Amino acid sequence: MNFINTKVQRTQSGVYFCVLRVFVFTVSPFGNIADKKNLYNMITVNENFKLLNESYLFSEIARKVNAYKTQNPGADVISLGIGDVTEPLSESVIQAMHTAVDEMADRNTFRGYAPECGYDFLKNAILENDYSARGINFSQDEIFINDGAKSSLGHFGDIFSAENIVAISDPVYPVYVDTNVMEGRKIIYLTCPPEKGFAPQIPDEKADVIYLCSPNNPTGSVLNREQLTAWVKYAQKNRSVILFDSAYEAYISDPAIPHSIYEIDGAKEVAVEFRSFSKTAGFTGVRCGYTVVPKELQAYDKTGSSISLNALWRRHQSTKFNGTAYIIQRAAEAVYSTEGKRQTQATIANYMNNAKTILAGLKSAGFKAHGGVNAPYIWLETPDGMTSWEFFDKLLNECQIVGTPGVGFGPSGEGYFRLTAFAKAENVAKAMDRIGKLM
C-alpha cells in the first residue's frame, strides 16, 4: 500500500520544495481491498481494447487468397486489393538516399538523433512547395515531420480529453475509429450518401473532433470548396477541431478541388492537416509524412482557458518520438526537386491511367462505379444485391482478381467493393478483360 506521497512544487520565484503527504488507512489483516486493481491485485488492461472490432479484413482476404492459390496452383491472381504502391522510388529519391548514406559514413557529416519535429531543409521544401505555392503561409514550427501519417493520426487523440465527442464518416479508413475506441471516446458516425457523392454530412449534434479525408479512402470521392467551407464554419461555431487527412492530395486532377484545408478561409483556427509521402512518392516502406498544426489553433481546458494545440503536439512529439531518420528526410526533400517532381508526377499519372482503365472497364461491363478521378480508389456497387464478401468470392473464383469488400470499412460499405489503381498497367488491363467477360 502506498501511504506516503511526495510532490515537488514550484513557488512563484521558481524555487522548488517538497510536500510530504501522509495518508493513513485502516489496514485489515488481508490488506486494503480498495487499493487493489482487481480481485487478485494483478496488472489490468485498458478495457477499451475489448471494445475494438476484430480487425480481420486484410487477414481474412489473405486467408481466402492463400486457400484459393493452394487449390489452384499456378493461377494468375491479380491484386487490386490492399492499396499499397507497386512502383519503385524515383531516381531522384534513390540518389538522395545514396548521398545521405555516404554522409552517414563520414565522421564530418554523420548525424545522430534528428530533431524530433524534423529538419529545416525538409520543412522548408514543404512550406515552399505544398503551401506558399498555393498562397498559404506557415512557419517551420507549424510543420511536424513524422514516420508517415498513420502514427500521427493515431496519436493525435492523446492531446484531447476522453470526454470529447468524435465525428467519423462511415465508411472510413479504420485507424480513426479504432484509436478513438482505444481512448474511450464517444463516436458519432457521419452518413456519406451516394446521392451526395459520398460526402460526409454535417450532423445535427455537436462533435468536438471531426475526421475528414479527401481524397477519400475508400470511396475515392473528394470534398469541394463549398463542402469544406461548411465544415470549417461548423467547427468555428462549435469550437471543434477538424483532423484533415489529405494523404492522397497528389492524386487530385480537378483544379477546382482544394488540396489543403487551409485553402479555406478560417481553417487555420480549426484544422490540423495530415500528409504523407507514402502514396505521393512511393514511401509506404520508407516511412515519412508530416502534420501541420497552425499556431492559431486552440483547444480549452476545464476552466475554459485556451491552450495552443501546436504547443501540446510539440510536447507530445518531443516526448514520444525521436525524429524521422536523416536519410529518409533527405529522400523526402528530393521529391520536391525539379527532377523529383517530374518523376513523381509520371508515377502518379501511371496509377491514374490505371484508374481510368478500371473505371472504363467497369462501366462497359455494366457496373456502377465511383471515384477514380481525383483518387486512386474505385468504389463500385456490387451487382445483383450481392454482399461485398459474396462479390469478393465471385471475383476471386471467376476472375482471379482480389479487391477489398466495402463492409470492411464500416457498415455503410456493405454492397460496395474497393479496387485500387496501385498496380502494374498490364495487370489492370488483364483484370478488366476478365471482368468484361464476367457480366
Which residues are at the interface with ligand PLP (CB under 6 A)? 83, 148-150, 173, 213, 217, 245, 247, 276, 278, 284, 289
Q: Minimum CB separation from ligand PLP for residue 409, in Å?
A: 10
Compute the distance between CA of residue 202 and CA of residue 189 in angstroms, rounded to an integer: 10
Q: Minimum CB separation from ligand PLP for residue 171, in Å?
A: 11
Compute the distance between CA of residue 185 and CA of residue 159 in angstroms, rounded to an integer: 13
**Residues in a beta bridge with 188:** 167
Cβ atoms of 142 and 165 closer than 8 Å: no
The residue among 282 and 294 lying less far from ligand PLP, judged by its C-beta, is: 282
Cβ atoms of 336 and 129 closer than 8 Å: yes
Compute the distance between CA of residue 394 and CA of residue 390 in angstroms, rounded to an integer: 6
The residue among 148 and 408 lying less far from ligand PLP, judged by its C-beta, is: 148
The residue among 278 and 412 lying less far from ligand PLP, judged by its C-beta, is: 278
Q: Minimum CB separation from ligand PLP for residue 123, in Å?
A: 17
Cβ neighbors of 19 (< 8 A, separation 6 or more) are 6, 7, 8, 9
Q: Minimum CB separation from ligand PLP for residue 148, in Å?
A: 3
Q: Minimum CB separation from ligand PLP for residue 26, in Å?
A: 52
The residue among 245 and 273 lying less far from ligand PLP, judged by its C-beta, is: 245
Compute the distance between CA of residue 394 and CA of residue 413 in angstroms, rounded to an integer: 18
Q: Minimum CB separation from ligand PLP for residue 215, in Å?
A: 8
The residue among 160 and 274 lying less far from ligand PLP, judged by its C-beta, is: 274
The residue among 173 and 391 lying less far from ligand PLP, judged by its C-beta, is: 173
Compute the distance between CA of residue 410 and CA of residue 55 in angstroms, rounded to an integer: 11
Q: CA angle 99-103-109, nearest 5°?
A: 145
The residue among 258 and 361 lying less far from ligand PLP, judged by its C-beta, is: 258
| Letter string b/e over residues 139-175, b meaning 16 or more CB atoms within 10 A of that residue's CB | eeebbbbbbbbbbbbebbbebbeeebbbbbbbbbbbe
Q: Minimum CB separation from ligand PLP for residue 389, in Å?
A: 21
The residue among 149 and 334 lying less far from ligand PLP, judged by its C-beta, is: 149
Cβ atoms of 362 and 435 closer than 8 Å: yes
Q: Minimum CB separation from ligand PLP for residue 179, in Å?
A: 12
Cell matching residue 175: 485507424
Q: Minimum CB separation from ligand PLP for residue 56, in Å?
A: 17
The residue among 169 and 400 lying less far from ligand PLP, judged by its C-beta, is: 169
Compute the distance between CA of residue 293 and CA of residue 291 in angstroms, rounded to an integer: 6
Cβ atoms of 271 and 235 closer than 8 Å: yes
Cα-flanking dihedrals φ and ψ of residue 320, to 5°? -105, -5
Compute the distance between CA of residue 272 and CA of residue 310 in angstroms, rounded to an integer: 9
Cβ atoms of 153 and 182 closer than 8 Å: no
AA identity, residue 393: D
Q: Cα separations (Å) of 335 from 65, 118, 314, 340? A: 35, 16, 25, 5
The residue among 130 and 399 lying less far from ligand PLP, judged by its C-beta, is: 130
Q: Minimum CB separation from ligand PLP for residue 63, in Å?
A: 21
Query: Strand 271-276 to strand 289-292: parallel, antiparallel, or no bridges (unpaired)?
Result: antiparallel
HEC profile for 361-395?
A: HHHHCCCCEEECCCCCEEEEECHHHCCHHHHHHHH
Of the candidates 244, 198, 247, the one whose C-alpha atom is nearest the C-alpha of residue 222 is: 198
The residue among 260 and 278 lying less far from ligand PLP, judged by its C-beta, is: 278
Q: Minimum CB separation from ligand PLP for residue 278, in Å?
A: 3
Compute the distance between CA of residue 240 and CA of residue 166 in angstroms, rounded to an integer: 10
